[in-house]
Amino acid sequence: MQIQKCKEIPLSILIVGAGHAAGQAAASLRQEKYEGEIIVFGDEPVLPYQRPPLSKAYLSGEQQQEKLLLRAATFYEKQNIEVKTSTSVTDINPQNSTIKIDDGEELSFEKLLIATGSRVRKINVSGSELDNVHYLRTIEDVDRIRSGMAKDKELVIVGGGYIGLEVAAIATQAGMKVRVLETEDRVLQRVTTPTMSNYYTRLHEKRGVRIHTQTRVIGFEGKSSVEKVICENDVFDADLVIVGIGIIPNSELAEKAGIACENGITVDERCQTSIPRIYAAGDCTNHPNPLLNRRLRLESVPNAMEQARVCAANMVGKDKTYSSIPWFWSDQYELKLQMVGFSSDGDSEVIRGDMDANQFSVFHVKENKVMAADSVNSPKDFMICKQLIGKEVDLDKLLDESVELKSLL
Ligand SMILES: Cc1cc2nc3c(=O)[nH]c(=O)nc-3n(C[C@H](O)[C@H](O)[C@H](O)COP(=O)(O)OP(=O)(O)OC[C@H]3O[C@@H](n4cnc5c(N)ncnc54)[C@H](O)[C@@H]3O)c2cc1C
């Protein structure tokens, strides 16, 4: 009998997208001792980088572009990770275990990670194509915005979410005249309670930001650039417009490949999609959270990083599940806000600390259980807040600053 030697196919993990989740997954795969080929495909012209500083220190000019990179180029070289920048993946073929990139080349994978992130939601009103209407998602976006920022110019920010307010803080500090237009009746409506919304409104107004709630933009007017922002009941002058009205998960590529998607790419607790050997991580996923007992689609770095680690472990044959309480942060002026859990899960609030001194935590509680917490300039307390989620506590003690927070654990 003649034994035929099989042609050796090199093991290969391909990663679509080159953001937080992709960069972390590639590094974690090496930490997990994966020795096969790793290729990361990103349609932006840069190595994986951090997005949070884009609306903070990079926008203000305090942080340079090199410092945004998650890891230096030498890291990928040393770890034998190939990062193909300015390269879009156009198709995934799960049957053949191949992907196609924008120059038509096809590549085979043993396992695939989809980490395509999300993109900005565009405003669909007349004049939105004028050249000083900006969105903020990439380094290129910020470079364009910065070239239009100047002292005493009128900046109109459409959307009073975290990104809008972070930009408002930086632009005000740069001497711009800033206005925030929000359709809801308060800023940060989607993510926190009226207590925090009012606190942030006061904070910004004290610095000179004009906040208009229940204000819907219906058009932009100007010759080549916006000069007037037209709202249902008002008209505002503008030299620069920045729109921050949310994001859309990049799940179309997966959907086209027949992978189950619903408000993002549907994954299980191991970050596996409906197709074995294909995983997904980060903003693009809709995933189960066993601690909160529901499915979530999150837009946060901690989520992208943790899901990436879970994917890497499972891709090398381990059995790791994702179960973290969501947390997030936002920097505005000299204030660091850190949030854990969903404030909407609570039905009452306990405020510990001094709001006027800008150092406090708001606990969102239900039946004496801590469901979520928002901490301002209290990083030590926040570490404990994270551990208090889901715990029953004595609310009087929670309020009383003479009682150490740690003692409630
Ligand atoms: C201005 C700003 C400020 C933020 N601030 C905070 C903060 O303070 N705290 C926090 O926790 N989170 C913050 N976030 C959110 C956080 O950055 C995201 O949750 C995080 O980037 C998600 O990582 P990701 O890898 O899933 O996706 P992304 O970082 O979006 O990366 C996905 C990448 O894949 C690329 N891609 C998509 N499709 C393809 C394709 N077919 N082929 C090749 N490449 C593709 C995309 O262009 C992108 O480069 C902020 C986001 C922005 C934009």
pLDDT of residue 11: 78
Give the pLDDT confidence of 43-68 residue by residue, as tens digits. 999 999 999 999 999 999 999 999 99
3-state secondary structure of 220: strand
pLDDT of residue 10: 59
Residue-wise DSSP of 302-350: HHHHHHHHHHHHHHTT---------EEEEEETTEEEEEEE-GGG-SEEE
285: left (phi over 0), alpha (psi -120 to 50) or beta: beta
Q: Which H/E stretch holds residue 13?
A: strand 12-16
Beta 348-354 vs 359-366: how paired, if at all? antiparallel
Name the residue with the closest Cα to ligand 1, atom 24: 117
Q: What separation in angstroms does the CA of 176 have from each of 109, 123, 167, 375?
A: 50, 23, 11, 28
Choosing from 92, 247, 301 the residue with most ligand 1 atoms within 8 A of its CB, the one to mutate for a pocket test is 301
Q: What separation in angstroms does the CA of 6 have from each of 3, 10, 11, 52, 111?
A: 9, 12, 14, 48, 20
Nearest to 367 by CA among 385, 348, 351: 348
Which pTM value belongs to this model?
0.96
Average pLDDT score over the chain: 96
Pairwise CA distance, residues 140 & 163, whole Å: 16
Give the pLDDT confidence of 180-230 residue by residue, as tens digits. 999 999 999 999 999 999 999 999 999 999 999 999 999 999 999 999 999
Q: What separation in angstroms does the CA of 268 have from each of 15, 137, 259, 265, 284?
A: 18, 27, 13, 10, 13
**Which one-letter DSSP state was computed for residue 357?**
T
3-state secondary structure of 94: coil
Domains within the chain, CATH numbers bracketed: 12-119+248-315 (3.50.50.60), 133-245 (3.50.50.60), 334-408 (3.30.390.30)
Pocket of ligand 1 (CB under 6 A): 16-22, 41-44, 51-52, 54-55, 88-89, 115-118, 136-137, 163, 250, 253, 282-283, 299-302, 304, 328-330
Closest ligand 1 atom, residue 138 Cα: 53
